[in-house]
Amino acid sequence: GDSVTQMEGPVTLSEEAFLTINCTYTATGYPSLFWYVQYPGEGLQLLLKATKADDKGSNKGFEATYRKETTSFHLEKGSVQVSDSAVYFCALSEGFQKLVFGTGTRLLVSP
Amino acid sequence: DAGVTQSPTHLIKTRGQQVTLRCSPKSGHDTVSWYQQALGQGPQFIFQYYEEEERQRGNFPDRFSGHQFPNYSSELNVNALLLGDSALYLCASSLVTATYGYTFGSGTRLTVV
């Protein structure tokens, strides 16, 4: 079945450092790909998405490109802030079906 | 415009009891999905409701059941609670086509003792 694999955390960075969180997926068809963010004590917020190969999703300085050839959707940000500290989930959805999530990557940014 | 509202926010139940969690979808959304998020894990899909019927179901036992009402709100029921049912239960609403993605509530934290 479909699955998502994320790099294990925590990822610890200093403010203004470059961020990469790796995500790869396995799917039978052509899924849509998502990054969600979860702040402490809260639900999930959609950060960005891409619906087809080579699409780039972007939001709040975060970017991810849908790479079909490597089945990847890595999350990047050029300069992280303390307020970016959260848990980040990569997810996929085929058609209008359920979301399949990775296990999450905790990001800790220090001043 | 209210987003997804879940109630209660926290509750504690004893093994063997039954629990009902509630979700009001975002205005304009007609589909509700439920997810279970164990501590330190990603959310796992339980089921999805559309037009008051269960449309899809994940790999969860029949102890987990649900309902959708004509106003699109939804309930998740869990019978014969086990310690392993302790988790954050998330509700997500969307249009049936998921055209604009899914909006998640803040969740209900269930602790089974």
The percentage of residues in chain A with a pLDDT greater than 70, rounded to a whole number, is: 99
Task: Answer whether B59 touches A (CB < 8 Å).
Answer: no
pLDDT of residue B1: 55
Local confidence pLDDT in tens for the 113 residues of chain B: 569 999 999 999 999 999 999 999 999 999 999 999 999 899 999 999 999 999 999 999 999 999 999 999 999 999 999 999 999 999 999 887 776 678 999 999 999 99
Tell me: the pLDDT tens digits for A63-98? 999 999 999 999 999 999 999 999 999 999 987 678
Distance between CA atoms of residues B103 and A44, nearest Å: 8
pLDDT of residue B2: 66
pLDDT of residue A109: 97
Task: Answer whether B66 touches A (CB < 8 Å).
Answer: no
Q: Considering all CA atoms of chain A, what is the largest pairwise distance in Å, rounded to the nearest integer?
A: 42
- Least Cα distance to A64 among A44, A48, A79 occurs for A48
Task: Answer whether B46 touches A (CB < 8 Å).
Answer: no
Return the DSSP state at B25.
Answer: P
Q: Which residues contact B93 (CB under 8 A, 6 or more apart)?
A: B4, B23, B25, B26, B29, B31, B32, B33, B72, B102, B103
* Distance between B106 CA and the closest CA of chain A, angstroms: 4
Find out whether B89 and B77 touch, Cβ atoms under 8 Å: no
Mean pLDDT of chain A: 94
| Residue B105 main-chain phi, psi, to 5 deg | -85, 180
| Residue corresponding to tokens 């790099």 | A7
Distance between CA atoms of residues B103 and A43, nearest Å: 9
Residues of B in contact with A94 (CB under 8 A): none
